[in-house]
Structure 1
Amino acid sequence: MVVWEMAYKTADESREAYSTLNGKEIVDDLGQKIILYLSFVEKAQWKRLDPPVLPPGLTVIEEMISFDDEKRLLESINWTEDTDNENFQKSLKHRRVKHFGYEFCYENNNVDRDKPLPGGLPDICDSILEKWLKEGYIKYKPDQLTINQYEPGQGIPPHIDTHSAFEDEIVSLSLGSEVVMDFKHPGGVVVPVMLPRRSLLVMAGESRYLWTHGITPRKFDTVQASVGHKSGIITSDIGDLTLNKRGIRTSFTFRKVRKMPCNCSYPSVCDSQRKETRPSFPETDKEALQLEQEYVHRVYEEIAGHFSSTRHTPWPHIVKFLKALPSGSIVADIGCGNGKYLGVNKDLYMVGCDRSQNLVDICRERQFHALVCDALAVPVRSGSCDACISVAVIHHFATAERRVVALQELVRLLRSGGKALIYVWAMEQEYNKQKSKYLRGNRIGQEEKEEINSDTSLRGLQMTDVGNQDLASSSVSPVNDFQEGRCNSKKVTNSELPIHTNRTSFHSQDVLVPWHLKGNPCKDKPVEPIGPVGSHDPSPVFHRYYHVFCEGELEAACQTLGNVSILQSYYDQGNWCVILQKV
Structure 2
Amino acid sequence: VDSSHQHNYKLSKTEKKFLRKQIKARHTLLRHEGIETVAYATQNLVVANGGLGNGVSRSQLLPVLEKCGPLDALLMPPNKPYSFARYKTTEESKRAYVTLNGREIVDDLGQKIILYLNFVEKVQWKELDPQALPPGLKVIEEIISFEEEKLLLESIDWTEDTDKQNFQKSLKHRRVRHFGYEFLYENNNVDKDKPLPGGLPDICDSILEKWLKEGYIRQKPDQVTINQYEPGHGIPAHIDTHSAFEDEIVSLSLGSEIVMDFKHPDGVTVPVMLPRRSLLVMTGESRYLWTHGITPRKFDTVQASVGHRSGIVTSDVGDLTLSKRGIRTSFTFRKVRQTRCNCGYPLVCDSQRKEAPPSFPENDEEASELEREHVHRVYEEIAGHFSRTRHAPWPRIVEFLMALPSGSIVADVGCGNGKYLGINKELYMIGCDRSQNLVDICREKCFEAFVCDALAVPLLGGSCDACLSIAVIHHFATVERRVAAVQELVRLLRPKGKALIYVWAMEQEYNKQKSKYLRENRISQGKKEEINSDASMPGLPVEQMPDLGSQDSASSIPTINGFEEGGCNSGKVTDSKLPIHTNRTSFHSQDVLVPWHLRGNSDKGKPVETFDPAASHDRGPVLHRYYHVFREGELEAACQALSNVHILQSYYDQGNWCVILQKI
Structure 1 length-normalised TM: 0.59
Query: Is 1:460 the counterpart of 2:468 in the alignment?
Result: yes
What is aligned with 1:122? Answer: 201
Q: 1:6 aligns with which of 42, 64, 84?
A: 84
In the alignment, structure 1 residue 93 sits paired with structure 2 residue 172: yes
Further displaced range: 186-195 or 333-342: 333-342
1:503–1:198: structure 2 CA closer, same or farther, 3 Å change rule?
same
Matched position secondary structure for 2:86: coil
Query: Which amino acid is the alignment partner of residue 532 of structure 1?
Result: Q
Does the Cα contact within 8 Å between 1:183 and 1:192 map onto a contact in 2?
yes
Give unmatched runs, 5+ long, in structure 2.
Answer: 1-52, 55-80, 362-369, 487-500, 520-556, 558-583, 592-627, 637-664
Q: Is 1:58–1:202's contact at 8 Å kept on the other side of the alignment?
A: yes
Counterpart selection for 1:217 from 296, 299, 323: 296
User: How far did 1:169 drift?
Assistant: 0.9
C-alpha separation in 1, matches of 2:93 and 2:388: 51
Q: Which moved more, 1:298-307 or 1:255-264?
A: 298-307
Match of 1:391 among 428, 431, 435: 431
The one-character-per-residue Cα deviations of 1:140-193 (angstroms, maximum 9, x if unpaired) are 111110111123223222222222221111101112222222222222222222
Deviation at 1:272, TM superposition (A): 2.8
2:516 aligns to what?
A: 523
Does the C-alpha gap of structure 1 residues 134 and 99 become closer, same or farther in structure 2, counting only changes over 3 Å?
same
Find the counterpart in structure 1 of residue 185 from structure 2: 106
Q: In the superposition, relative to structure 1, how do residues 18 and 75 fare at CA in structure 2: closer, same or farther (>3 Å)?
A: same
Q: Aligned partners of 1:32 and 1:460: how far apart in 2? A: 33
Classify the secondary structure of the residue corresponding to 2:306: coil
Distance apart, 1:110 and its partner CA: 1.5
Indicate if the aligned counterparts of 1:391 and 1:424 stay in contact, CA closer than 8 A: no
Q: How far, CA to CA, are the matches of 1:235 and 1:299 in structure 2?
A: 47
Which residue type is aligned with residue 425 of structure 2?
G
Alpha-carbon contact 2:410-2:468 (below 8 Å) kept: no
2:125 is the alignment partner of 1:145? no
> How far off is 1:255 after superposition?
0.6
Measured at CA, do residues 150 and 290 of structure 1 come closer, stay the same or move farther in structure 2, by a change above 3 Å? same
Q: CA deviation at 1:267?
A: 3.1
Q: Displacement, 1:314?
A: 9.6
How far did 1:200 drift? 0.7
Which of 138, 146, 152 in structure 2 is aligned with 1:67? Answer: 146
SS at match of 1:538: coil
TM-superposed CA distance for 1:82, in Å, is: 3.3
Q: Is the aligned partner of 1:254 residue 2:344?
A: no
Please report how far the alpha carbon of residue 58 of structure 1 lies from its aligned counterpart in structure 2 after TM superposition: 0.5
Residues 271-286 of structure 1 mapped to structure 2, 5 A cutoff:
271-276=350-355
Change (3 A) 1:245 1:187: same
Aligned to 1:561: none
SS at match of 1:425: coil
1:116-515 paired onto structure 2 within 5 Å: 116-228=195-307, 230-276=309-355, 288=378, 335-339=417-421, 342-344=424-426, 391-393=431-433, 395=434, 397=435, 403=436, 405-406=437-438, 413=444, 421-428=449-456, 459-461=467-469, 501-504=481-484, 515=503
Q: Which residue number in structure 2 is paired with residue 538 of structure 1?
A: 632
Which amino acid in 1 is paired with 2:179?
F
Residue by residue, what CA displacement relative to the aligned partner does 1:524-579 show, whole Å, maximum 9, x if unpaired? 8476358439999636989xxxxxxxxxxxxxxxxxxxxxxxxxxxxxxxxxxxxx
SS for the counterpart of 1:88 is coil
Q: Deviations over 1:261-304 (max 9, x none)?
A: 323223333333334459967879999379979xx999999995
| Counterpart code for 1:253 | T
Conserved in 2, the CA contact under 8 Å of 1:172 and 1:201?
A: yes
Letter matched to residue 503 of structure 1 = V
Change (3 A) 1:187 1:73: same
- Secondary structure at the aligned position of 1:71 is classed as helix
Partner deviation per Cα, 1:338-390 (whole Å, 9 max, x = no partner): 456641379xxxxxxxxxxxxxxxxxxxxxxxxxxxxxxxxxxxxxxxxxx97
Alpha-carbon distance in 2 for matches of 1:47, 1:334 = 45
Which amino acid in structure 1 is aligned with residue 121 of structure 2? E
| RMSD, aligned α-carbons | 4.8
For 1:262 and 1:153, the matched residues in 2 are separated by: 35
Residue-by-residue CA offset, 1:93-116 (whole Å, 9 max, x unaligned): 221111111111222221111222
Letter in structure 2 aligned against 1:170:
I
Q: Is the 1:160–1:537 contact (alpha carbons within 8 Å) kept by the matching residues of 2? A: no
Inter-partner Cα distance in structure 2 for 1:299 and 1:79: 51
Comparing both chains, which one has the higher relative contact order based on Cα–Cα distances under 8 Å and sequence gaps of 6 or more? 1
Distance 1:521 1:304 in 2: 17
For 1:116 and 1:160, the matched residues in 2 are separated by: 22
Letter of the 1:461 partner, please give it.
Answer: S
Q: Distance in 1 between matches of 2:442 and 2:392?
A: 26
CA shift, 1:131, in A, is 1.7
Residue correspondence of structure 1 range 43-62 to structure 2 within 5 A: 43-44=122-123, 49-62=128-141
| 8 Å CA contact 2:251, 2:281 repeated in 1 | yes
CA–CA distance in structure 1, aligned partners of residues 408 and 427 of structure 2: 13
Distance (whole Å) between structure 1 residues aligned to residue 126 and residue 455 of structure 2:
59
Q: Are the aligned partners of 2:106 and 2:113 in contact in 1 as well (CA < 8 Å)?
A: yes
**2:135, 2:285 within 8 Å by CA — same for their partners in 1?**
yes
For the residue of structure 2 that corresponds to 1:461, the secondary structure is strand
Q: In 1, are the aligned partners of 2:300 and 2:323 still within 8 Å (CA)?
A: yes
Is contact 2:391-2:419 (8 Å) kept?
no
Deviations 1:182-213 (A, max 9, x none): 22222222222221221111011111122222
User: Deviation per CA, 1:55-77, whole angstroms, max 9, x where unpaired?
Assistant: 11110111212222222211111
Which amino acid in structure 2 is aligned with residue 421 of structure 1? A
Q: Is the 8 A contact 2:421 2:431 kept in 1?
A: no
User: Equivalents in 2 of 1:298, 1:39: separation in Å?
Assistant: 51
Residues 71 and 340 from structure 1, CA distance in 2 versus in 1: closer, same or farther, beyond 3 angstroms?
Answer: farther
Shift of the alpha carbon at 1:461? 3.2
Separation of aligned partners in 2, 1:122 and 1:284 = 49
| Partners of 2:254 and 2:427 in 1: CA distance | 55
Cα separation, 2, equivalents of 1:258 and 1:437: 43
User: Structure 1 residues 284 and 68, CA, compared in 2 at 3 Å: closer, same or farther?
Assistant: closer
Unpaired runs of 5+ in structure 1? 321-332, 347-388, 398-402, 439-456, 465-491, 507-512, 543-583
Q: Deviations over 1:454-481 (max 9, x none)?
A: xxx96533579xxxxxxxxxxxxxxxxx
Are the aligned partners of 1:161 and 1:536 in contact in 2 as well (CA < 8 Å)? no
Q: For 1:298 and 1:157, locate their aligned partners in 2 and report how far apart those are by CA, in whole Å.
A: 36
Instruction: Show CA shifts across 1:306-361 (max 9, x none).
Output: 666766769999779xxxxxxxxxxxx97234456641379xxxxxxxxxxxxxxx
TM-score by length of 2: 0.53
Aligned length: 418
For residues 308 and 184 of structure 1, do their structure 2 counterparts lie closer, same or farther at Cα, with a shift above 3 Å needed? farther
Tell me the distance in 2 between the aligned counterparts of 1:317 and 1:46. Answer: 47
Which amino acid counterpart does residue 452 of structure 2 have in structure 1? V
CA contact (8 A) 2:160 2:167 kept: no
After TM superposition, the structure 1 stretch with the greater mean CA deviation from structure 2, 221-230 or 245-254, is 221-230
